[in-house]
Structure 1
Amino acid sequence: MKKKRFRIVCIVVFLVCTFLLIGVGTYNEIQVRQHGKSSIAEVVDMKEYTPRGFKVYEIKYKVDGETHTGSVSKKIYKRLDIGSRIEVVEYKGKTMLFESYGSK
């Protein structure tokens, strides 16, 4: 009986922690989208590499003369070329790329 109760408590604690982590991540993304400044960036370099058996698609983009790096999905990577423009969000001195933002 004690072993069964222990398992149930562990599962409940795991689920609560998981939901808290997801909530904090979602809250941070909402804050960035609401309070950040939207800008248009120009793609200056593109890389595709395989670090541990899966492909990573990375782009370098320039916003207001500063170069930043970000990872994107394969779908967005295939749509972009060097010189194309993509929408980014600037918040607290950082620029962030969101998958929901498309290329221009």
Structure 2
Amino acid sequence: MVKKSILPIIFLFLYTLNSHAEGQDGLNKIANIFNLIYNIGILICITCYIIIARVILKSVLNKKTITFFGKKINNTAFRTSVVITFLSAIFLGMIVWLYDSF
């Protein structure tokens, strides 16, 4: 839980990040602040997603055979498909984030 005395300091810091831009009115600065908070939140979400994907991949890669609905599946084919799926999802997420931030 963030203390209430820290919140004005955080907002003041975020406001000073955008205060160097000249020729902008107050509403545009506030929009820039919310855009900055949004981008930081997306970075945190992508970082958490990568950490969760690493944990899942480590658990999948350590097993020799995987039981899927009672059938044993060789781990090599399943391992490559899981790795390709997670890497492509992370790559597409980064592309969407970069497209959205600019």
TM-score over 0.5 for the alignment?
no
Q: 1 or 2, which has the higher helix percentage?
A: 2
State the structure with bigger RCO (CA 8 A, min sep 6), 1 or 2.
1
The structure having more radius of gyration, on CA atoms, is 2
TM-score, scaled to structure 1: 0.36
Larger proportion of strand: 1
